Amino acid sequence: MKKILKFIFVGILVFLVGWTFYFLYTKSKPKKVVYEIVTPKKESIKKSTIITGKISPRDEILIKPQISGIVSDVYKEAGQKVTSGEIIAKVKVIPDVGSLNNAESRLRTAEIDLTQATQEFERQKKLFDKGIITKEEYEKAETSYKTAKENHETSQDALQIIKEGISARTAQYSSTLIRSTISGLVLDVPIKVGNSVIQSNTFNDGTTIATVANMNDMIFIGNVDETEVGRIKEGMMMTLTIGALQDVKLDAILEYISPKGVESTGGANQFEIKAAAKLKNDIFIRAGYSANGEIILATADSVLAIPENTVEFSNDSSFVQILKSEKPEQIFEKRFVELGLSDGVNIEIKSGLTADDKIRGAVVSNKK
């Protein structure tokens, strides 16, 4: 019984040792690698840069009041069109008590002066008609009467302006009626009836009554990395792709490149650009749409090209692996090539290859 157990133990040990050697042998045996075979083809290659940004109106105007008060009426809302000079809102003036008292006092004084001047003028007129006084004395009384009458009307207007912000003689120039300064589309009306507003002056920007923009003149605003800004120039064509309108592409002309860069969160400098968009009549572009702008930096038409991932680099040289034999296994030979333009997927071959060459591509299978 002991001999049998001994033989079994020795057999298991021999099996384990043999299996170990077999396992190590198979691991050390080189694997047979099969590569995809690629042939050069005629391609049109373009190198471009993509710029992220947004679409905005060229002229976006903030409408400010010229008088402080309370909004009494709002005639327009966001999305409506306005013409230059059209009324957007109306402001009711809240008079200052001190100014109101002074204006009322000046009006009462003017009424007293007008009454006295009227009586004197009528008396002098009767005397002049009878030939008792000279023409010079009559004209002097007439002048005093007209002056008192003008002062009375001016005092009335001043009181009315303090109370209501408008007078009968200056209605067409009223600052209580807030008018649009341009023709366009109302983008925003941040105020409501009852809101207090502050006039625009040298110490305060004033309360915004509305934002109006010309939606027929839109521009693309984006930022270019410092590594790309040297390759672009004003006047270059750009293709805009709007995120909200995937199937819509707009042409644009680059018209501004900032002379000063701004450091981004990643540490690289960014330069602002602006491009005039060519709008289509059947598409409404909203202000603030995010968009990508593509600028073609260089093109190469109908050139011999291969996938860029088939090219290998060593120091300043570039080469590919040319297929010399397929059986019993693939054999490749290194060949140096001169490269041209690349779009990140395909790369131009200037010399070193023909359309009949077969090139090693990606690994297809990896077998023992």
Instruction: Calculate helix-pair angle for 135-164, 97-129, nearest 10 degrees.
Output: 160
CA pair distance 302, 45, nearest whole angstrom: 8
| Average pLDDT in the chain | 82
The pTM of the full predicted model, rounded to 2 decimals, is: 0.64
Which one is predicted more confidently, 129 or 19?
129
What's the mean pLDDT in 203-221? 91
Which one is predicted more confidently, 121 or 13?
121
pLDDT recorded at residue 256? 94
Q: CATH 1.10.287.470 region(s) of the chain? A: 97-164
Sorting pLDDT into bands at 50, 70 and 90, what band is 234?
Answer: very high
Q: Is the pLDDT of residue 317 over 50?
A: yes
Sorting pLDDT into bands at 50, 70 and 90, what band is 173?
Answer: very low
What's the mean pLDDT in 91-116? 72
pLDDT tens readout for residues 117-149? 888 878 878 877 777 778 888 788 888 888 888
Phi and psi of 345, rounded to 5°? Answer: -115, -55
Q: CATH 2.40.30.170 region(s) of the chain? A: 49-57+215-299
What's the mean pLDDT in 317-322? 88
pLDDT recorded at residue 213? 94
Sorting pLDDT into bands at 50, 70 and 90, what band is 70?
Answer: confident
The token pair at 341 is 């333009």
The token pair at 25 is 């042998």
Which range of 164-173, 192-201, 210-219, 278-287 scores highest in mean pLDDT? It is 210-219
CA pair distance 350, 305, nearest whole angstrom: 9
Sorting pLDDT into bands at 50, 70 and 90, what band is 190?
Answer: very high
The CATH H-level (homologous superfamily) assignment of domain 49-57+215-299 is Efflux pump adaptor protein, beta barrel domain (2.40.30.170)
Which range of 160-169, 249-258, 337-346 scores highest in mean pLDDT? It is 249-258
Least confident of 178-182, 198-202, 224-228, 363-367: 363-367
Topology of domain 32-46+301-367, per CATH? 2.40.420
Q: CATH 2.40.50.100 region(s) of the chain? A: 60-93+176-213
What's the mean pLDDT in 91-106? 68
What's the mean pLDDT in 325-329? 78
Q: CATH 2.40.420.20 region(s) of the chain? A: 32-46+301-367
What's the mean pLDDT in 345-354? 87
pLDDT recorded at residue 68? 81
CA pair distance 179, 167, nearest whole angstrom: 18
Q: Is the peptide bond before 328 cis (omega within 30 degrees of 0)?
A: yes
Sorting pLDDT into bands at 50, 70 and 90, what band is 30?
Answer: low
What CATH number does domain 60-93+176-213 carry, 1.10.1040.10, 2.40.50.320, 3.40.50.720, 2.40.50.100?
2.40.50.100
The CATH H-level (homologous superfamily) assignment of domain 97-164 is Helix hairpin bin (1.10.287.470)
